[in-house]
Amino acid sequence: MNTITAAITAVGAYVPDFVLSNKVLETMVDTNDEWITTRTGIKERRILQDPDKGTSFLAIKAAQDLIAKANIDPLEIDMIIMATATADMPVASTGVYVATEIGATNAFAYDLQAACSSFLYGMSTAAAYVQSGRYKKVLLIGADKMSSIVDYTDRATCIIFGDGAGAVLFEPNYEGLGLQDEYLRSDGVGRDFLKIPAGGSLIPTTLATVQENRHNIIQDGKTVFKYAVTNMADASELILKRNNLTNEDVNWLVPHQANKRIIDATASRMNLEDSKVLMNIERYGNTTSATLPLVLSDFEHLFKKGDNVIFAAFGGGFTWGSIYIKWAYDKK
């Protein structure tokens, strides 16, 4: 075959050492382990405690893990897409800094922000660059230091989010493996339901916005949950129908790790047995842009060449979608 498809050929990941458990959260806000576990499926999350380290630190570690495991020369990387909702700073791309720090000095880099769908959108973008024939090695990193934008007196959000990073390498494939189809959507109706109110061009930072605590993430949980359940499930079901796949044809579902109930609803719509649904939300919580690659890293040993893998995500904005990939390698 001469047709180029874009396949994932390597995976890397990193999570901080510090574990913020539900038991610890019980001492910080009015909540308890049973309540959190029942409603979210989360038991603990990782936190990057060093105040001098940002999202770039997590991203660099994940990229270095991939480079070491795949035994590739960073100079061979053509481009880097940095999927994140928590860039180190508003101006000066985090991805550019990461590229330099990992020695990928022949690559161009930029940031991509679509909230919790950032990595999913990044998969589409990375694959398109490879399929164009212009680039051979595209590194996609998903990383977020969510603890930097979480108010730890707000029990509605502080129980959900954690810090982490994951990375995948996209390369050309000539066997028909890799990205097969995608269904990506967005709807601005979600703008007010999941956001950081201040700090942007609409409401610039002032002493008042800081004093009013308007620089942390807020969400209307019930509304976000309703949209997430419907849209993630719809997108995943559509991908199956469009590609004539049955539940038996799907080997793995890699869903965004925001809430176990959302994941269960998506799997139910696809009529998938539990063993095909990959979850690590219990240990990491919602790491936003890092959830999908962290799942890949944790379960990479299960994937076989030719496996049908369905990815699904939903994020603020709103942004959502599903991607169908044929896995390209057996882990050595």
Catalogue the active-site residues: 116, 256, 286
The alpha carbon of 161 is separated from its chain's Cα centroid by a whole number of angstroms, namely 12
Q: Is residue 307 helix, strand or coil?
A: coil
C-beta atoms surrounding 101 within 10 Å: 15
Find the DSSP H helices in the chain.
22-25, 33-40, 55-70, 94-101, 118-131, 155-158, 207-211, 221-242, 260-269, 281-284, 291-299
8 A C-beta contact, residue 292 and residue 157: no
Structure tokens at 250: 């799907």
Find the DSSP H helices in 219-303.
221-242, 260-269, 281-284, 291-299
Nearest to 112 by CA among 80, 71, 145: 80
Q: Is residue 268 helix, strand or coil?
A: helix
Residues contacting residue 233 through CB under 8 Å, at least 6 positions apart: 265, 266, 268, 269, 270
8 A C-beta contact, residue 314 and residue 232: yes
Q: How many helices (H) and strands (E) does the chain have?
A: 11, 13
8 A C-beta contact, residue 238 and residue 255: no
